[in-house]
């Protein structure tokens, strides 16, 4: 292990896990935003980008090859180079005529390379660090993975937005003010074409310049105006007509009835709450947009509108993408701005409408991302340590590869306590797997439905900021204490931490406080407890994977981890709708018994993770 002592883990762990998180965000999140900006329909975006998750789901099936061929270090550097090349390929093909099909294919290759990189990076982490350092840096690696998700969803999208804003016509700035002092009646703009004759350059004209929306809404009037705007935009070629299939599916969904089993659960365990009809449609305002000049034949001028600054409780609902051409340029397009129905005080927001070269903007953004990966690949080629244990398991012959491939799965299920370990992987996060799916709906739902009635902007602060802070701090502290006392010592405190902190939502659902301080405090405590308790889970996966095929075995463990989150999460919303938030959170607390129970059966070496443990120790299970 002498070679790895020459390089501090701080020199490569943050960059390695930042590089692990960024392509995942690019494939799963940035791609959706890009396709939306380029005019792909929501149906196509949802259908085709959902398949991009597949490589991360099935990665255990090729993880054995990462153990069998080459070193983990080689796989890490090579996959980073392939990811960089793939991102550059996306950048090159965005302006192409059939960009959607081509970029989707390259995104899938990037996803495959990124999933392979995840396997190799996790395996390298276990080989390059002794058990003490693995415990010490487990919170750091999780933190920088989260930093990558923030950078991807934030900085890269901001960069694309800036590039869009600085190409094309002069951007439109739309100011919106909302509050109880403004009239609740919705003023419809005229259908006349309006432009500014004093400006000879092609530009957009928005009416009114400042939109004022009252917070008191008339649901019938809101529905009527929404329908009018949709009809106008469709008639003038600015929006696609709604398909019959969509209408039928929504109608069918509304007509679903509860089964006998669901009625039994609802009547036996549900809350006795008088459920009043809550109108989820807030008041709206309408802005008319006109283009001053006719585009050239075949040319399109696309106006994209996004929320720029101000209260997130004021949001855009129609007209986010308007395409002017030679046929419809002299007709007005309409944008609707809606107010969260829970907003009762004066507020404001700014929206920006840009018509830049969107394809060029996203091409440059992906070139920047590709350049980063090429740079980080070269950096890791130089800086990553070369542990003696990082070597191929067998010589690369056809017979050996297939023999070792099947042996990888066999040896995993022959490990001591394997079924106890699998139960631990599936059940340790059973409470959180259900809770995490309902936190945002609970914060948003009105009090008469059992929620807290927060606005969208408040939820962004409570869960998206304070909650993330608690999660990150808990993870870092968990790694530090586990490195000092070992996994076995801290397993029970961490198990109780991830379990008992769920009680904060029992408190919130019972008292439904108005104080944002109390709500923030409760969410911080729960997310801190989850981050702290999750450290034990991650360390146990590393501990159980140790052995000849640790990289492939760790990938199998992460597959069980994903399954343990997916299955309970799928049923969480269905159960909550039957029994209500208060009783649902009681149920989550009951599920904490599963977390504690599985911890009682697993056996862990008392020295695992401690600083004085032998660096080359082989953990016996």
**Percentage of residues of the chain with pLDDT beyond 70:** 87
Q: Is the pLDDT of residue 41 over 90?
A: no
Report DSSP state, residue 11: G
In degrees and rounded to multiples of 5, residue 354 shows phi and psi of -120, 155
Any residues with CB less than 8 A from the CB of 60 and at least 6 apart, and which?
A: 552, 555, 556, 558, 559
CA distance 183 to 185: 5
Contact 504, 485 (CB under 8 A): no
395-410 exposure pattern, b = at least 16 Cβ within 10 A, e = fewer: eeeeeebeebbebbbe
Q: Is the pLDDT of residue 522 over 70?
A: yes
CA distance 571 to 95: 42
CA distance 244 to 297: 33
In 3D space, the residue among 483, 492, 478 whose CA is nearest the CA of residue 531 turns out to be 478
Report DSSP state, residue 277: -
Contact 415, 421 (CB under 8 A): yes
211 three-state secondary structure: strand
297 or 401: which leads in pLDDT: 297
CA distance 380 to 12: 7
Residue 372: the pLDDT is 92
Contact 373, 84 (CB under 8 A): yes
Report DSSP state, residue 279: -
Contact 216, 340 (CB under 8 A): no
Which helix H or strand E contains 232, and what residues bound it?
helix 219-235
CA distance 238 to 230: 9
Give the pLDDT confidence of 352-394 residue by residue, as tens digits. Answer: 888 878 888 899 999 999 999 999 999 999 999 988 877 766 5
Q: Taking residues 270-284, what's their average pLDDT?
A: 60
Q: How confident is the model at residue 408 (pLDDT cuts 50, 70, 90)?
A: confident
Residue 3: the pLDDT is 43
Give the pLDDT confidence of 196-245 residue by residue, as tens digits. Answer: 766 678 889 999 989 999 988 888 888 899 999 999 999 998 887 764 44
Q: Which domains does the chain have, with CATH numbers?
A: 1-167+357-414 (1.20.1250.20), 171-241+260-355 (no CATH), 416-621 (1.20.1250.20)
- DSSP string computed for 67-132: HHSS-HHHHHHHHHHHHHHHHHHHHHHTTSTTHHHHHHHHHHHHHHHHHHHHHHHHHHHHHHS-HH
CA distance 488 to 470: 24
Distances (CA, A) of 431 to 54, 440, 467, 603: 26, 16, 17, 22
Quickly tell me which residue has 């010592």 as its tokens: 489
Alpha helices in 129-151 (DSSP H): 131-151
Alpha carbons within 13 angstroms on the beta-carbon side of residue 101 total: 2
The phi-psi region of residue 299 (left if phi > 0; otherwise alpha if psi is between -120 and 50; otherwise beta) is beta
Give the pLDDT confidence of 122-158 residue by residue, as tens digits. Answer: 889 888 888 888 888 887 887 888 788 778 877 888 8
Torsion of CA 242, 247, 250, 255, to 10 degrees: 170
Residue 280: the pLDDT is 54
Q: Is the pLDDT of residue 256 over 80?
A: no
Residue 175: the pLDDT is 95
User: For 417-426, 531-540, 566-575, 605-614, which range has the lowest pLDDT when averaged over its residues?
Assistant: 605-614
User: For 117-131, 132-146, 284-298, 592-606, which range has the lowest pLDDT when averaged over its residues?
Assistant: 132-146
114-152 exposure pattern, b = at least 16 Cβ within 10 A, e = fewer: bbbbbbbbbbbbbbbbbbbbbbbbbbbbbbbbbbbbebb
Peptide bond into 223 cis (omega under 30): no
Give the pLDDT confidence of 565-590 residue by residue, as tens digits. Answer: 878 887 888 888 888 899 999 999 99
Tokens of 553: 């075995």
Alpha carbons within 13 angstroms on the beta-carbon side of residue 547 total: 19
């Amino acid at each position: 292990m002498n070679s790895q002592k020459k390089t501090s883990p701080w020199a490569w762990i943050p960059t390695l896990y930042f590089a692990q998180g960024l392509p995942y965000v690019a494939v799963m999140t940035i791609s959706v935003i890009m396709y939306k900006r380029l005019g792909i329909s929501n149906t196509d975006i949802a259908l085709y980008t959902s398949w991009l998750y597949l490589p991360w789901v099935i990665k255990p099936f090729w993880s054995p090859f990462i153990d069998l061929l080459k070193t983990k270090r080689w796989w890490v550097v090579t996959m980073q180079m392939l990811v960089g090349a793939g991102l550059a390929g996306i950048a090159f093909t965005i302006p192409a005529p059939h960009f959607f099909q081509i970029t989707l294919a390259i995104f899938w290759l990037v996803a495959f390379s990124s999933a392979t990189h995840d396997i190799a990076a996790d395996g390298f982490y276990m080989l390059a660090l002794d058990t003490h350092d693995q415990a010490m840096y487990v919170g750091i690696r999780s933190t920088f993975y989260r930093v990558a998700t923030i950078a991807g969803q934030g900085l890269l999208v901001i960069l694309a937005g800036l590039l869009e804003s600085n190409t094309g016509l002069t951007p439109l700035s739309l100011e919106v003010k909302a509050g109880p002092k403004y009239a609740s009646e919705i003023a419809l703009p005229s259908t006349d074409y309006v432009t500014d004759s004093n400006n000879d350059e092609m530009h957009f004209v928005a009416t009114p310049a400042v939109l004022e929306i009252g917070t008191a809404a008339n649901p019938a009037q809101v529905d009527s105006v929404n329908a009018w705007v949709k009809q106008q935009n469709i008639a003038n070629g600015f929006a696609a007509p709604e398909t019959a299939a969509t209408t039928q599916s929504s109608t069918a969904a509304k007509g679903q009835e509860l089964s006998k089993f669901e009625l039994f659960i609802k009547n036996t365990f549900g809350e006795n709450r008088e459920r009043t009809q809550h109108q989820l449609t807030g008041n709206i305002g309408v802005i008319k947009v006109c283009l001053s000049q006719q585009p050239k034949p075949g040319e399109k001028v696309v106006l994209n509108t996004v929320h720029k600054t101000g209260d997130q409780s004021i949001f855009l609902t129609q007209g986010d993408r308007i395409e002017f051409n030679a046929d419809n340029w002299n007709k007005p397009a309409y944008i609707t701005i809606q107010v969260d129905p829970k907003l009762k005080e004066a507020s404001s927001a700014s929206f920006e409408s840009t018509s830049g070269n969107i394809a060029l903007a996203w091409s440059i953004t992906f070139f920047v991302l590709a350049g980063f990966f090429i740079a980080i690949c070269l950096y890791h080629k130089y800086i990553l340590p070369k542990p003696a244990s990082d070597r191929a398991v067998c010589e690369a012959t056809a017979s050996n590869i297939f023999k070792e491939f099947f042996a990888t799965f066999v040896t995993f299920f022959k490990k001591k306590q394997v079924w106890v370990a699998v139960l631990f992987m599936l059940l340790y996060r059973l409470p959180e797997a259900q809770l995490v799916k309902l936190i945002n709906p609970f914060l948003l739902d009105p009090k008469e439905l059992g929620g807290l009635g927060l606005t969208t902007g408040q939820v962004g602060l409570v869960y998206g900021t304070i909650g993330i802070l608690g999660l990150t701090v808990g993870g870092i502290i968990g790694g530090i204490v586990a490195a000092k006392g070992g996994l076995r010592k801290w397993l029970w405190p961490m198990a109780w931490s991830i379990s008992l902190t769920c009680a904060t939502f029992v408190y919130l659902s019972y008292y439904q406080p108005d104080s944002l301080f109390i709500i923030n405090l409760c969410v911080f405590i729960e997310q801190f407890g989850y981050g702290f308790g999750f450290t034990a889970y991650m360390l146990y996966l590393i501990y159980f994977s140790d052995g000849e095929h640790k990289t492939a075995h760790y990938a199998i463990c992460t597959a069980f981890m994903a399954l343990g989150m997916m299955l309970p999460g799928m049923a969480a919303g269905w159960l909550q709708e039957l029994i209500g938030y208060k009783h649902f959170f009681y149920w989550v607390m009951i599920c904490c018994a599963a977390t504690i129970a599985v911890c009682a059966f697993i056996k862990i070496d008392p020295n695992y993770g401690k600083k004085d443990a032998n660096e080359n120790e082989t953990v016996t299970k």
